[in-house]
Structure 1
Amino acid sequence: MPSPPADKSANPSEKPAKKKGGSKRLLILLLPLVLLGGGGAGAWFFVPAVQTMVQGLLGAKPAEEGEQAAAGAPNAPPGKPSFVEFPEMTLSLPNGGRPRQLRLKIAVEVAGDPTAVQPDLLSPRVYDSLVLYLRTLREGEMEGALAMDRLRGDLHRRLDLVLGPGKVRDVLITGFVVA
């Protein structure tokens, strides 16, 4: 006599086969949430307007204003930035026997009214400080991916030392030729 088919539920040691679609469903549901969360976090950290917009919607004061007031830095006037352009500077560089020349043109973003800061920026003291720094540059210091950023940062520090902190927001290099 043939034996009856075995009942699967009768043997507790056997496990039922898992569904393969469960993990795919979970991935399909969670992937958009993770992408949206990552995009939102990226926007929060890398786009300043998003922070101020969200804080404005929540009725909170933006953190940047509180930090500026605590640091004693002058508040930025609303509107477009103000720039003071320097005349082109041409100078010889030390290069171990081979004469090299640097032509540099910069524009400086100023805090506040540019007409009030312009006489200080274009003074002989500022030119002297910038030229003394530029004459110390070696040829190797002006090569590479970070050379322009380093030069901008050093020029900004020089201007802060001569004019005082808070008057210069940024230094923009508008012309740079080494020949």
Structure 2
Amino acid sequence: MAAAKGEEEAGEAEAKPRGSKKKLILLAVPLLLGGAGAGVWFSGILSPAPPPPAAEAEPQPVNRQPVFVNMPDITANLNAPGRRAFIRVKSQVEVAGPADAAALQAAMPRLVDLFTTYLREVRPEELRGSAGTHRLREELIARANIAAAPARVTDVLFTEILVQ
């Protein structure tokens, strides 16, 4: 009887690992399949294709002509310690359309103030050469976009720049 009891215990010891491996496989396979399915779903592979565009809703060509707004002449002192230096700028501002031009005209006092304030901080050395003019243009475009907030300024065109 003792021998039979020992054999039963040995059989139970061997049976437990087999049963736990089966349980592990039975739990792991559905979890892996569910994870793979969720990955495919969230990656967008299973999302439906967008509907084709309607034949009657063809896009019309948009004829956008830029509008140029004349700026008043701006004369300002430059930041030149120990000497007198001035700049005179005549320019035009390019906007996308008439609505933006109206918004820019309404914001013209703010725009002139921002331009003048910026020009008073510029040193004469910073304006030398085409690189200096390009930097000046970029800075004025950024300030013009701030002043005419809903409108979008696309360029500032210089008619005259005089540095003395």
TM-score range (shorter-chain normalised) is 0.5 to 0.7
Moved more, 149-158 or 91-100: 91-100
Equivalent position of 2:120 in the other structure: 135
Write out per-residue CA displacement over residues 41-70 of structure 1, whole angstroms, 9 at most, x where no aligned residue: xxxxxxxxxxxxxxxxxxxxxxxxxxxxxx
Residues 150, 116 of structure 1: alpha-carbon distance in 2 compared, 3 angstrom cutoff: same
Equivalent position of 1:16 in the other structure: none
Equivalent position of 1:171 in the other structure: 156
Does the CA-based 8 Å contact 1:110-1:117 persist in structure 2? no
Aligned pairs, number: 103
Does the CA-based 8 Å contact 2:107-2:147 persist in structure 1? no
Larger relative contact order (Cα-Cα within 8 Å, sequence gap ≥ 6): 2
C-alpha distance in structure 1 between counterparts of 2:62 and 2:69, whole Å: 16
Does the CA-based 8 Å contact 1:104-1:173 persist in structure 2? yes
Q: What letter matches 2:129 in structure 1?
A: G
C-alpha distance in structure 2 between counterparts of 1:77 and 1:132, whole Å: 37
Equivalent position of 1:117 in the other structure: 103
Does the CA-based 8 Å contact 1:95-1:138 persist in structure 2? yes
Does the CA-based 8 Å contact 2:65-2:96 persist in structure 1? no
Residues 177, 117 of structure 1: alpha-carbon distance in 2 compared, 3 angstrom cutoff: same
C-alpha distance in structure 2 between counterparts of 1:83 and 1:121, whole Å: 15
Larger radius of gyration: 2
Q: What letter matches 1:105 in structure 2?
A: K
C-alpha distance in structure 1 between counterparts of 2:93 and 2:117, whole Å: 18
Identity %: 36
Q: Secondary structure at the match of 2:130?
A: coil
Q: How does 1:38-77 map to 2 (within 5 A)?
A: none
Residues 146, 78 of structure 1: alpha-carbon distance in 2 compared, 3 angstrom cutoff: same
**Is residue 86 from structure 1 mapped to residue 38 from structure 2 by the alignment?**
no
Residues 99, 162 of structure 1: alpha-carbon distance in 2 compared, 3 angstrom cutoff: same
Q: Secondary structure at the match of 2:76?
A: strand
Write out per-residue CA displacement over residues 61-102 of structure 1, whole angstroms, 9 at most, x where no aligned residue: xxxxxxxxxxxxxxx961542100111111111211110110
Q: TM-score, normalised by structure 1?
A: 0.52
Q: Secondary structure at the match of 1:174?
A: strand
Q: CA deviation at 1:143?
A: 0.9
